Amino acid sequence: MVIKSSEVQWLTRHTMDPLGEVFRYENRIFRIINDEKREYVIDLFNKGIMKEMIEKGFFVNTWINEDVRIEGRENSLVLEHSVVPHLSVRYEWSVNMFIELRTMIARFSIWLLQHGYELLDCHAWNVAFIGCKPIYMDLGSIVPSNSCGLTGWRIFKNEWVDRLRWIEQQRMDDKLFRALNFSGMVLQSENISGLIGSHKAKIEDIIEYRLYDNSIKSPRKIIEFAANTCRNILKIDNEKTNKYKIRRYRKYAEFKRIQCKDGMRSSYSDQGVEGKQIINDERFSFYVSLIKNLKEKDNIKTSFEIAGNAGLLSQLLLEHDIVEHACVSDYDVKAIDNGFLRCRDNENVKKKISFAVIDIMSTIENITNISYQRYKSDIVIALAVTNHLILTQNVKLSVIVDILERYTKKYVVVEFMPLGLWAGDDENCPPIPKWYTFEWFLDGLKTKFDIVVVEQISKNRICVLGQRK
């Protein structure tokens, strides 16, 4: 198959990747290898390096595709990578999702150094989650060890260590941490070090870099002479440098959960971390049965849950084999963090459930459009969401219905709460607006959906199942 260059979506044309360019074609991901790197890449396969790092779960599944060629470069080597579904991005990660990624990169770096390679460019855009499992995606980051000094370690420290120091030192909450990882708000290493690093730590870093990175040259002859003298006395060679890097990475090669200061927090954000919830709750049982029956009538494979009790219902759908993959989103960072922590070690669901911090009411158009594309699923579950948006945020029902339609391929499950935000006789509860009626709610849904099921499951919860028109 010869593909015209004009027919593909180039993903790395804005960068100077010495290994080759990555492109998308018909929902498949390929990398065309530069001719001068052909033997290097083939060697990775022949030595078994590629096979082993894929089998160990470090790297996305990759193989040589001899049936695909690019017009004008028919003799070039072409690799194909497995597509990562529901690809989350850095500003959608919670704090402990970030730590999980850091742990994987540290372990991967140690393994590579032990095999004669290392990661040059381990920034956050080169990693992803398959479910709750972190994975590395950029082959161009893998280079022969000792070919980049301490550049790889410096990038790791900037991207994955220094950013978390604010959290570890309790200087900011999870909301600000997420903002720090947002595209366009990423600080450079020198800025981060200046804000959080002690003078002693900075001096130690400078000394270590001078000793273990020969690529660093000082314009001052006396400093360069002193550094060379120390390297000679200590007999620092490539082997010692590699051991130094391994020691530094090993410090971060074990997952250590961080309890950060509260950022955004809802009434359910503490649910699910230890998995002690009563999963046979009547409400959950109703929705499990409803979606199970729907699957038997229509081929429901994927679900997208919005602000749903840290993903408890999504977890149940997976454990009962009702869906093949579930995405859980919430604007509450703490809820996403707790759902992720609950599921990351659950063998039954960890590769099939994804978590992402998403504000469905975001007004940043390019971000929301990309979010619709990545998380669009067969069924959208938005239970105790619409009443909060309508009664506390004054969001128009038409806007909510439009968002639900854009996320779903087939169905939507929503709840109407006739008593408003709270049930009971609390005198402090605000009065329910006269226009806030079930008929008004149903008429709004009918603009985009055909109503399939209406059932009152409790005093203050009416379930509505709609099918996209």
Q: pLDDT tens digits, residue range 174-222? A: 666 666 665 434 444 444 444 445 555 566 666 666 667 766 666 667 6
Residue found by looking up tokens 């040059």 in the block: 120
pLDDT in tens, 33-45: 999 999 999 999 9
Tell me, yes or no, if the pTM score tops 0.75. yes
Percent of all residues in the chain with a pLDDT value above 90, rounded to a whole number: 51
Phi and psi based region of residue 29 (left: phi greater than 0; alpha: psi -120 to 50; beta: remaining): beta
- Output the six-digit token pair for 54: 């894929």
Between CA 159 and CA 84 the distance in angstroms is 22
Residue 381 or 267, more confident: 381
Tens of pLDDT, residue by residue over 230-258, are: 767 777 778 888 888 999 999 999 998 88
Task: Decide if 292 contacts 318 (C-beta within 8 A).
Answer: no
The answer on pLDDT for 169 being more than 70 is no
Distance between CA atoms of 134 and 304, rounded to whole angstroms?
Answer: 20
At residue 190, the pLDDT reads 46
Averaged pLDDT score across all residues of the chain = 84
**DSSP character for 239?**
H
CB atoms under 10 Å from CB of 175, counted, come to 19
